[in-house]
Amino acid sequence: MNSSSAQRLARVLITTVSVAYSLIGLIYFTSGPRNGFVASAAVIGVVVTHYLNMRAGLRGERPPLFPLTLVLQAVATYAPDYLLPSGWSAVSAPMLAGTLLVFLPLRWSGPLVAAMTLWEGGTILSVSANPVVALFYGLSVATTGAMIYAMVRFVGVTVDLEQARAELAEAAVLKERLRISRDLHDGLGRSLTAIALKGDLAGRLMDRDPAAARGEVGELVQVAREAAQDVRQVARGYRELSLVSEVDRGVALLESSGVGCQAHLVDAVLPRQSEAALAWGVREAVTNVLRHSRATTCTISTSLREGRLRLEVVNDGVLDLGGDDPDGRSPHGGGGGLTGLAERAAQAGGTATAAATGTGGFRLTMEVPA
3-state class of 292 per DSSP? helix
Give the number of other CB atoms < 10 A from CB of residue 65: 13
d(CA 342, CA 88): 67
3-state secondary structure (DSSP) of residue 64? coil
Alpha-carbon separation of residue 355 from 32, 58, 309, 367 (angstroms):
61, 33, 19, 15
pLDDT, tens only, 49-86: 888 888 888 888 888 878 888 888 888 888 777 776 66
Helix (H, G, I), strand (E, B) or coil at 307: coil
Mean predicted lDDT score pLDDT of the chain: 78
Average pLDDT over residues 198-214: 82
Mean pLDDT computed over 300-317: 90
Dist CA 315 CA 306 (whole Å): 26
Higher pLDDT, 322 or 368: 368
> Which pTM does this prediction carry?
0.50
Does the domain at 243-369 match CATH 1.10.260.40? Answer given as no
Distance CA(227)–CA(210), nearest Å, equals 25
pLDDT band at 131 (very low <50, low <70, confident <90, very high): confident
Residue 365 pLDDT class (50, 70, 90 cuts): very high
C-alpha–C-alpha distance, residues 47 and 247, integer Å: 52
- Check whether 331 has a pLDDT greater than 60: no
Helix, strand, coil fractions of the chain, as percent rounded to 5: 70, 10, 20
pLDDT digits (tens, 9 = 90+) for 248-294: 888 877 876 678 889 999 988 888 888 888 988 888 888 788 777 77
- Dihedrals φ, ψ of 269, to 5°? -95, 120
**Does the pLDDT of residue 186 top 60, yes or no?**
no
pLDDT at 37: 67
What whole-number distance in Å separates Cα of residue 145 and Cα of residue 53?
13
From residue 340, alpha-carbon distances to 103, 274, 351 in Å are 51, 15, 11
Whole-number pLDDT of residue 189: 64
Q: How many CB atoms lie within 10 A of CB 101?
A: 25
- Report how far residue 152's alpha carbon sits from residue 156's, in angstroms, rounded to the nearest whole number: 6
pLDDT at 25 over 50: yes
What is the domain partition of the chain in residue ranges? 3-162, 167-236, 243-369
pLDDT in tens, 214-227: 887 887 888 788 77
Residue 301: its pLDDT value, please? 93
Class of domain 167-236: mainly alpha
Please spell the DSSP secondary structure of 238-271, one letter per residue.
Answer: SS---HHHHHHHHHHHHHHTT-EEEEE-------
Same-fold call for 167-236 versus 243-369? no
